[in-house]
Copies of this chain bind each other. A is one copy, B any other.
C-alpha cells in the first residue's frame, strides 16, 4: 500500500465512506420496500406499521454504519459487502432501540414528527378512540415495529458473507451489545423513575451512559468492522475501550448541550433535560455541591419557563458542574486518543478515530 499524505488519506477514506453509506441506505431502502410490499397482504395497519418503521430508520446520522466502515477500511479490509451488511444490521438495531426507547419513555414524537406510537395513536383517535385506547394501539404498534427490526438486525448480520468462525464472533459482539444496552436502558429508567440507587452518583450516571450507548453505538460497530477486516484480538480490545471512552464523551457533550447549548445551532431544546429532571453528569456533580438546594426544587418541573431554566443553567455553571463535566469530557477524549497510539492501530484508522474523538469537544460552539 502506498503511503499517502494524511490529508489525502482522510479525503480518500471520506469518499469511500460516502459510497458505502449510499449503498447502506440503498439496502435499507430495499429492505423496507420489500417488507412494506409483503405487509400489503395483511390488514392495512400492518403496511402502515412497516412504513412507520421505515420512517423511523430514515434521517438518522448513520453513526453506527460509519463506525463499522471506518474500522473496516482503516484496517485495509477487502470484501466490502460483508461490512455493508453489518452496517445495515447495526442501523436496524439502532432503529429498534429508538422505537422501544420511545415506548418506555412514553414519547410520541421523534426528530420533530410523530413516531410509530404517535402516528398509530393519532389514527385511532381520528377513528373515534379515546386517548387511552389510542395510546394502547400506539404502544402495540411501536413494540411490534421494534420487535421486527430487532429481529432483523440479528438475521441480517448472520447472513454476512463470511466464514463460520467470523460469523460466530460477529454474533458474539452483537449479543454483547444487546445485553449491555438492555442493562443500560433499565438503569436509565431506574434513574428516571427514582427506582435506582437512593442518591445517584456520577459513577452511576456514567455507567448507565456507557451501557446504554457506548456498547452498541461505538464499541460494537468498531469491533465488527475490525473483525471483518481481519483485525486481531489486540485491535478489537483497543477499539472496545476506545468506544467506551468516546461513547461516554459523546454523552457528556450531550449533557452540556442539553443545558448550555444554543437552541438555534443545535436544534435541541435547552429546557427539556431540566424539565424532565434528567439524571445527567451535571446534576450528579451538582448534587454534591453547596448550591444543590437551589436546584433540587426546580428539576423535573414540567412547567419550567425558559428564564427559570436559564437561572438553573447559571447555577450549574457557578457551582462548578459545567467546568467539571467539560474537564471530564476532555479527559475521556484524551484517553481515547492515547489508546490509538499503538502499533496495532495503523494511521489510516488512528487518523479518523482521533478526529471523531476530538469532535466530542466544543460541540456547543
Residue numbers of A with Cβ under 8 A of B are 35, 38-39, 42-43, 45-46, 49, 96, 100, 103-104, 106, 124, 127, 129, 133, 136-137, 139-141, 143-144, 146-148, 150-155, 158-159, 167-168, 171, 174-175, 178-179, 182-183, 185-187, 189-190, 193-196, 211
- Please state if B179 and A148 are interface contacts (CB–CB under 8 Å): yes
Which residues on B sit within 8 Å (CB–CB) of A189?
136-137, 140
- Please state if B43 and A196 are interface contacts (CB–CB under 8 Å): yes
Kindly state the separation between the CA atoms of A138 and B348 in the bound complex, as whole angstroms. Answer: 47
Which residues on B sit within 8 Å (CB–CB) of A141?
186
- Please state if A193 and B148 are interface contacts (CB–CB under 8 Å): no
- Please state if B158 and A167 are interface contacts (CB–CB under 8 Å): yes
Kindly state the separation between the CA atoms of A321 and B24 in the bound complex, as whole angstroms. Answer: 53
Which residues on B sit within 8 Å (CB–CB) of A150?
147, 150-151
Tell me the nearest residue of chain B to A178, going by C-beta.
B151
- Please state if B129 and A195 are interface contacts (CB–CB under 8 Å): yes
- Please state if B45 and A190 are interface contacts (CB–CB under 8 Å): yes
Kindly state the separation between the CA atoms of A171 and B155 in the bound complex, as whole angstroms. Answer: 6
With A154-B155, A159-B168 already in contact, the answer to whether A187 and B42 are too (CB < 8 A) is: yes
- Please state if A154 and B143 are interface contacts (CB–CB under 8 Å): no
Which residues on B sit within 8 Å (CB–CB) of A178?
147-148, 151
Which residues on B sit within 8 Å (CB–CB) of A158?
154-155, 158, 167, 171
- Please state if B45 and A193 are interface contacts (CB–CB under 8 Å): no
Q: A150-B150, A154-B155, A155-B171 are in contact. List 14 more A-B contacts (CB 8 A).
A: A43-B186, A45-B195, A46-B182, A104-B140, A106-B136, A129-B193, A136-B193, A140-B186, A146-B147, A147-B150, A151-B153, A151-B154, A151-B175, A154-B154
